[in-house]
Amino acid sequence: MANITKIENKIQILDELLRAWLEATKKDPENFSKNDYAKLKNEVYKKYKIAKPFQSIELIERYEELQADWSLEENLFFKKILRKRWIRSLSWVTVISLLTEFFGCPGKCIFCPTFEGLPKSYIPNEPAVQRAVLNNFDPIMQIHNRLRALEITGHKIEKNDVRIIWWTWSVYPKPYQEMFIKAIYDAFNTYDDMKVYLEKTNFENDKFATFKIKQGYKAKLSKTLEEAKKLNESSRLRVIWIAIETRPDWIDLDEIARLRKYWVTRVEIWYQTTIDEINELNKRWHWNKESIAATKILKDAWFKVVAHMMPNLLGSTPELDKKALAEVFDNPDFRPDELKIYPMMVTDKSELTDIWKAWNFKAYDDETLINLTAELQMMIPEYVRLNRTYRDIPADQILEGSIVANLRQIVEKKIAAKWVKLLDTRHREIREWKNDPQKAEIHTFEYEASKWKEYFLTFEDPEDRTIFSLLRLRLPENPHLTSPEEEEQNNLPLLQERAGVRTVLPELEWCAIIREIHTFWDQLSVHEKGSKFGQHIWLWKKLIAESEKLAKENWYKKMAVIAWVWVRAYYEKRWYSLEGEYMIKEI
């Protein structure tokens, strides 16, 4: 066997493998498969009599080194073949989850565990918690650690969806909030500078990808939040979305204004159930009226709303759980944009732990939970995205509740056996490259939500309804009343209802609002051109044109869209101009 322990021999073989692979893909790149790559790789290994293959991480690392010094031309298919957990990049952004420090919680929910030193409800050996503890809850270190793990496993990291995961963000002191948000932008702004000082990366555990930095590195941090945001406009790594979690009873006008200042785009709120008596029994201490009010004000201010539901709460039954979720979609005062379902689990260090030990709580068995989850999933309408059906708590931490790790797969296999096609957006997003966007058609779904009209526009394959791109349009006021004065005379309740959002976001007055526009498929770099399998193709342009047409048909004269900094030039070319945090156009 050839001796490849010397680093120069290993690099030589890696280089030969990379160049052979890149040459082979030039002939017919879109049809070059993982099997083709495996055959080519085996030929090189056979030539050098190598018994143990190189890790994909090592190949990616060498590819990036050759890219950095211009020794190798870029090939868009390379990382698609080698990357691990490829599904992470198919929503066109990379998801980065961050955990905040413990600051206490105003809630007394009986099911939330409280472990020393951790935010309430989190378990010590959950992956995101382990990463946060490893990095002392420092947001910059958490982000750099996660970016490095994604990068060495072949994922694009230029466009990022940041999730701040703790259930009541709103209770944190405002100085801490601003520090944390500024640090998010600083982390992406400084990542490339930090990489220059990398001395060693641990490839043994790509989930965490710990690394050592050479002496002499000092991060160039911004002085203010506004400076950090401004720098991110031209950074290679951009913050596209930021999501926070909070209680519905903490959403008010001040919170709306603050979240817009931070460029938060998505808010996850915990309905838990729509049966007030069960929320009271579980000491949630908020009611449907707060959930409804929070949902509306968030939509009126452009935010995307993600609702959390928890089957098997103390006092509930499968029938009540189905009734609770049916209310979410049957009642137009709810109707969120996305949904997470977290079945109850008993863990240590919660009030429910003691209730369970006293034999006063019993979780659903696996058969009951699987059947219930299948029925819940089949209720979800086409304009909603189902993000989760199960919380990823390690089995050894669950005292009572299902430990079936692949619950979702089992449930969806059961649904498929009934010949039922799930229509929520997650089940229709383009996953592979079998559907041709050239054959896509615009599909329009109209519905009422939180007092106003919504349009859910999709570019989809007419044969199987696979979604390539989507847009959410909200029509939040009556444009037939041509002035505030006329509205005050003829429709005072309507004026009063809208006055709240107007006071903190006056630029949205009399505007139709694009609340989301999203293209699926592989993430591309900011200036990278799209292709059959990537972003930056023509879908956005046509969806925006269709939304403007619908707004005009409904007598609107202005359109507003929240535009991430790097796409503002795109909207400016289409006659939008910046007002506050929104791009607005006279239509």
372, 288: one domain:
yes
- The pair of three-digit structure tokens given for residue 114, joined into one six-digit string: 């409280």
Pairwise CA distance, residues 539 & 518, whole Å: 9
How many other CB atoms are there within 10 angstroms of residue 181's CB atom? 25
Length of the chain: 587
Looking at residue 468, which CATH number applies to its domain?
A: 3.40.630
Determine the Cα–Cα distance for residues 379 and 381; give it in Å rounded to an integer.
6
Give the integer Cα–Cα distance in Å for 82 and 252: 46
The answer as to whether 139 is a domain residue is yes
Domain boundary among 82, 105, 131: 82
Q: Which residues in 186-322 belong to E strands, given as ranges? A: 198-201, 211-213, 238-246, 266-272, 304-309
Residues 328 and 352 grouped into a single domain: yes
333 is a domain residue: yes
What are the CA-CA distances from residue 60 to residues 406, 517, 520 (Å)? Answer: 30, 32, 24
547-581: burial string, b at 16+ Cβ within 10 Å, e else: bbebbeeeebebbbbbbbbbbbebbeeeebeeeee
> Do residues 526 and 448 both lie within one domain?
yes
Q: Do 446 and 579 sit in the same domain of this protein?
A: yes
C-beta of residue 248 within 8 angstroms of C-beta of residue 538: no
Does residue 160 share a domain with residue 102? yes
DSSP code at position 537: S
Q: Say if 252 falls within a structural domain.
A: no
Q: Is residue 414 part of a domain?
A: yes
CA distance 341 to 375: 12
Q: Are 567 and 555 in contact (CB under 8 A)?
A: no
Asked which of 364, 392, 426 is the last residue of a domain, the reply is 426
Q: Report the distance separating Cα 578 and Cα 560, nearest Å.
A: 10
Question: Do 97 and 131 reside in the same domain of the chain?
Answer: yes
Q: Among positive and negative, which fits the CA dihedral 98, 192, 265, 209? A: negative
How many domains, the chain? Answer: 4
pLDDT, position 495: 46
CB atoms within 10 A of CB 485: 10
The sign of the dihedral angle between the CA atoms of 521, 525, 527, 533 is negative
Task: Read off the pLDDT of residues 89-107 as tens digits, 9 standing for 90 and up.
Answer: 555 678 999 999 988 888 8
Helix (H) or strand (E) holding 48: helix 34-48
Domain range for residue 303?
Answer: 257-426
What is the C-alpha to C-alpha distance for residues 22 and 3, in angstroms, rounded to an integer? 26
Q: Do 164 and 212 reside in the same domain of the chain? A: yes
| Contact status, residue 446 vs residue 434, Cβ threshold 8 Å | no
Measured distance CA(6)–CA(28) in Å, rounded: 35
Q: Are 247 and 269 in contact (CB under 8 A)?
A: yes
251, part of any domain: no
The answer as to whether 273 is a domain residue is yes
Residue 145, CA distances (Å) to 133, 141, 195, 229, 232 in order = 12, 6, 11, 21, 19
- 431 lies in a domain? no
Task: Tally Cβ neighbours within 10 Å of residue 249.
Answer: 21
Q: Say how far apart CA 432 and CA 488 lie, in whole Å.
A: 53
Low-confidence stretches of the chain (pLDDT beneath 50): 1-4, 479-482, 486-487, 490, 492, 494-496, 533-536
Is residue 414 located within the same domain as residue 293? yes
Question: Based on the domain organization, do 237 and 268 belong to the same domain?
Answer: no
pLDDT score of 432: 67
- What pLDDT is recorded for position 356? 97
pLDDT of residue 381: 98
Residue that terminates a domain, selected from 396, 426, 456:
426
Judgement on whether residues 301 and 386 belong to the same structural domain of the protein: yes
In a domain, 421, yes or no: yes
Is 542 within 8 Å of 459 (Cβ atoms)? Answer: yes
460 and 535 in a single domain? The answer is yes
